[in-house]
Amino acid sequence: MQHPPRLPCLALIVALGAATGASAASTGEVEQGRALYAQHCAACHGADLEGAPDWQRPGPDGRYPAPPHDETGHTWHHGDVMLLDYTRRGGQAYLDDLGVVFDSGMPAFGDILSDDEIRAILAFIRSTWPEEIQAFQAARTAAETAD
Ligand code: HEC
Protein backbone atom coordinates (compact mmCIF):
# COMPACT_ATOMS: atom_id res chain seq x y z
CA MET A 1 0.00 0.00 0.00
CA GLN A 2 1.46 3.29 -1.05
CA HIS A 3 0.86 6.54 0.74
CA PRO A 4 0.82 9.93 -0.91
CA PRO A 5 4.12 11.68 -0.37
CA ARG A 6 4.19 14.52 2.11
CA LEU A 7 3.78 17.70 0.20
CA PRO A 8 5.62 20.82 1.27
CA CYS A 9 2.82 23.17 0.39
CA LEU A 10 -0.47 21.48 -0.32
CA ALA A 11 -2.34 24.77 -0.62
CA LEU A 12 -0.19 25.85 -3.56
CA ILE A 13 -0.72 22.55 -5.32
CA VAL A 14 -4.47 22.69 -4.80
CA ALA A 15 -4.42 26.23 -6.23
CA LEU A 16 -2.45 25.04 -9.26
CA GLY A 17 -4.90 22.22 -9.87
CA ALA A 18 -7.89 24.51 -9.51
CA ALA A 19 -6.35 27.05 -11.88
CA THR A 20 -6.36 24.54 -14.74
CA GLY A 21 -9.89 23.39 -13.94
CA ALA A 22 -8.44 19.90 -13.75
CA SER A 23 -10.53 18.81 -10.80
CA ALA A 24 -13.66 20.74 -11.73
CA ALA A 25 -16.10 18.02 -12.80
CA SER A 26 -19.85 18.51 -12.77
CA THR A 27 -22.10 15.98 -11.07
CA GLY A 28 -23.59 15.11 -14.44
CA GLU A 29 -20.19 14.28 -15.87
CA VAL A 30 -19.33 12.10 -12.87
CA GLU A 31 -22.64 10.23 -13.15
CA GLN A 32 -22.12 9.68 -16.89
CA GLY A 33 -18.61 8.43 -16.10
CA ARG A 34 -19.89 6.05 -13.44
CA ALA A 35 -22.25 4.40 -15.95
CA LEU A 36 -19.59 4.22 -18.67
CA TYR A 37 -17.06 2.80 -16.21
CA ALA A 38 -19.51 0.01 -15.24
CA GLN A 39 -20.10 -0.78 -18.90
CA HIS A 40 -16.54 -0.63 -20.27
CA CYS A 41 -13.96 -0.85 -17.47
CA ALA A 42 -15.43 -2.73 -14.49
CA ALA A 43 -15.02 -6.23 -16.00
CA CYS A 44 -11.24 -5.92 -15.69
CA HIS A 45 -10.65 -3.09 -13.20
CA GLY A 46 -13.39 -4.17 -10.75
CA ALA A 47 -16.92 -2.93 -10.07
CA ASP A 48 -15.61 -0.97 -7.06
CA LEU A 49 -12.37 0.04 -8.84
CA GLU A 50 -10.57 -2.55 -6.72
CA GLY A 51 -8.59 -4.07 -9.63
CA ALA A 52 -8.07 -7.71 -10.50
CA PRO A 53 -7.03 -10.14 -7.74
CA ASP A 54 -3.23 -10.36 -7.43
CA TRP A 55 -2.81 -7.43 -9.82
CA GLN A 56 0.80 -6.84 -8.73
CA ARG A 57 1.98 -10.18 -10.11
CA PRO A 58 2.07 -11.25 -13.77
CA GLY A 59 -0.44 -13.95 -14.72
CA PRO A 60 0.36 -17.24 -16.50
CA ASP A 61 0.57 -15.35 -19.83
CA GLY A 62 3.24 -13.04 -18.38
CA ARG A 63 0.88 -10.06 -18.49
CA TYR A 64 0.02 -7.94 -15.50
CA PRO A 65 -3.69 -8.04 -14.54
CA ALA A 66 -5.71 -4.81 -14.42
CA PRO A 67 -4.68 -2.60 -11.48
CA PRO A 68 -7.19 -0.84 -9.21
CA HIS A 69 -8.33 2.68 -10.07
CA ASP A 70 -9.09 3.46 -6.42
CA GLU A 71 -6.50 5.05 -4.13
CA THR A 72 -4.70 1.71 -3.58
CA GLY A 73 -3.61 1.64 -7.24
CA HIS A 74 -1.32 3.96 -9.17
CA THR A 75 -3.78 5.67 -11.50
CA TRP A 76 -3.52 8.82 -9.36
CA HIS A 77 0.24 8.98 -9.97
CA HIS A 78 -0.56 10.08 -13.53
CA GLY A 79 -2.02 13.29 -14.91
CA ASP A 80 -5.23 13.42 -16.95
CA VAL A 81 -3.41 13.85 -20.28
CA MET A 82 -1.55 10.57 -19.83
CA LEU A 83 -4.65 8.73 -18.57
CA LEU A 84 -6.76 9.91 -21.51
CA ASP A 85 -4.09 8.93 -24.03
CA TYR A 86 -3.51 5.53 -22.36
CA THR A 87 -7.23 4.73 -22.48
CA ARG A 88 -7.72 6.07 -26.01
CA ARG A 89 -4.76 4.27 -27.63
CA GLY A 90 -4.35 1.34 -25.23
CA GLY A 91 -1.34 0.41 -23.13
CA GLN A 92 0.67 -1.21 -25.91
CA ALA A 93 0.68 1.75 -28.30
CA TYR A 94 1.35 4.18 -25.47
CA LEU A 95 4.29 2.22 -24.03
CA ASP A 96 5.74 1.34 -27.45
CA ASP A 97 5.94 5.09 -28.16
CA LEU A 98 7.94 5.56 -24.97
CA GLY A 99 10.24 2.69 -25.89
CA VAL A 100 9.08 0.74 -22.85
CA VAL A 101 9.22 -3.02 -23.38
CA PHE A 102 6.00 -4.26 -21.80
CA ASP A 103 3.27 -6.66 -22.88
CA SER A 104 0.11 -4.72 -22.03
CA GLY A 105 -3.36 -6.18 -21.63
CA MET A 106 -5.00 -2.75 -21.61
CA PRO A 107 -7.15 -2.41 -24.77
CA ALA A 108 -7.58 0.76 -26.84
CA PHE A 109 -10.96 2.51 -26.46
CA GLY A 110 -10.53 5.23 -29.09
CA ASP A 111 -12.97 3.53 -31.49
CA ILE A 112 -15.53 2.83 -28.76
CA LEU A 113 -15.54 5.93 -26.57
CA SER A 114 -15.23 9.64 -27.45
CA ASP A 115 -12.61 11.73 -25.64
CA ASP A 116 -15.44 13.37 -23.67
CA GLU A 117 -16.71 9.97 -22.57
CA ILE A 118 -13.20 8.96 -21.47
CA ARG A 119 -12.92 12.31 -19.63
CA ALA A 120 -16.22 11.55 -17.84
CA ILE A 121 -14.87 8.14 -16.76
CA LEU A 122 -11.72 9.80 -15.43
CA ALA A 123 -13.86 12.38 -13.60
CA PHE A 124 -15.78 9.53 -11.97
CA ILE A 125 -12.54 7.72 -11.01
CA ARG A 126 -11.09 10.96 -9.53
CA SER A 127 -14.31 11.58 -7.58
CA THR A 128 -13.74 8.37 -5.58
CA TRP A 129 -10.31 9.48 -4.27
CA PRO A 130 -9.70 11.21 -0.94
CA GLU A 131 -9.16 14.97 -1.25
CA GLU A 132 -5.42 14.77 -0.60
CA ILE A 133 -4.95 12.36 -3.50
CA GLN A 134 -7.19 14.42 -5.78
CA ALA A 135 -4.97 17.42 -5.02
CA PHE A 136 -1.79 15.46 -5.74
CA GLN A 137 -3.15 14.20 -9.07
CA ALA A 138 -4.47 17.65 -10.03
CA ALA A 139 -0.91 18.94 -9.62
CA ARG A 140 0.34 16.19 -11.93
CA THR A 141 -2.20 17.29 -14.53
CA ALA A 142 -1.22 20.93 -14.05
CA ALA A 143 2.44 20.03 -14.62
CA GLU A 144 1.53 18.06 -17.76
CA THR A 145 -0.39 20.94 -19.27
CA ALA A 146 2.05 23.72 -18.28
CA ASP A 147 3.85 25.29 -21.25
C1 HEC B 1 -9.85 -6.40 -21.03
C2 HEC B 1 -9.52 -5.88 -19.72
C3 HEC B 1 -9.50 -4.37 -19.54
C4 HEC B 1 -10.51 -3.46 -19.75
C5 HEC B 1 -11.94 -3.74 -20.23
C6 HEC B 1 -10.00 -2.16 -19.34
N7 HEC B 1 -8.70 -2.27 -18.92
FE8 HEC B 1 -7.47 -0.78 -18.28
N9 HEC B 1 -5.96 -2.09 -17.99
C10 HEC B 1 -6.04 -3.45 -18.21
C11 HEC B 1 -4.78 -4.08 -17.85
C12 HEC B 1 -4.48 -5.58 -17.93
C13 HEC B 1 -3.94 -3.06 -17.41
C14 HEC B 1 -2.50 -3.24 -16.89
C15 HEC B 1 -1.50 -3.22 -18.02
C16 HEC B 1 -1.11 -1.83 -18.39
O17 HEC B 1 -0.93 -0.98 -17.49
O18 HEC B 1 -0.95 -1.56 -19.60
C19 HEC B 1 -4.70 -1.81 -17.53
C20 HEC B 1 -4.21 -0.56 -17.23
C21 HEC B 1 -4.93 0.62 -17.32
C22 HEC B 1 -4.39 1.94 -17.07
C23 HEC B 1 -2.94 2.25 -16.71
C24 HEC B 1 -2.66 1.94 -15.28
C25 HEC B 1 -3.12 2.99 -14.33
O26 HEC B 1 -3.80 2.65 -13.35
O27 HEC B 1 -2.82 4.15 -14.56
C28 HEC B 1 -5.42 2.83 -17.22
C29 HEC B 1 -5.36 4.33 -17.06
C30 HEC B 1 -6.59 2.07 -17.58
N31 HEC B 1 -6.26 0.73 -17.65
C32 HEC B 1 -7.83 2.62 -17.80
C33 HEC B 1 -8.95 1.90 -18.23
C34 HEC B 1 -10.25 2.48 -18.48
C35 HEC B 1 -10.60 3.94 -18.26
C36 HEC B 1 -11.06 1.48 -18.91
C37 HEC B 1 -12.50 1.58 -19.38
C38 HEC B 1 -12.76 2.52 -20.44
C39 HEC B 1 -10.26 0.26 -18.94
N40 HEC B 1 -9.01 0.55 -18.50
C41 HEC B 1 -10.74 -0.99 -19.35
C42 HEC B 1 -7.13 -4.16 -18.68
C43 HEC B 1 -8.35 -3.61 -19.03
Q: Where are the domains of the chain?
A: 25-145
137 CB near ligand 1 (under 6 Å): no
Top-ranked range on mean pLDDT: pick from 4-8, 14-18, 138-142:
138-142
Alpha-carbon distances, residue 98 vs 6, 79, 86, 102 (angstroms): 29, 16, 12, 11
Q: Does the beta carbon of 138 lie inside 6 Å of ligand 1?
A: no
- CB of 121 closer than 6 A to ligand 1? yes
Taking all residues of the chain, what is their mean pLDDT, rounded to a whole number?
89
CATH code: domain 25-145 is 1.10.760.10
All residues at 6 or more sequence positions from 34 whose CB lies less than 8 Å from its CB, including other chains: 124
Answer whether residue 10 shows pLDDT above 90. no
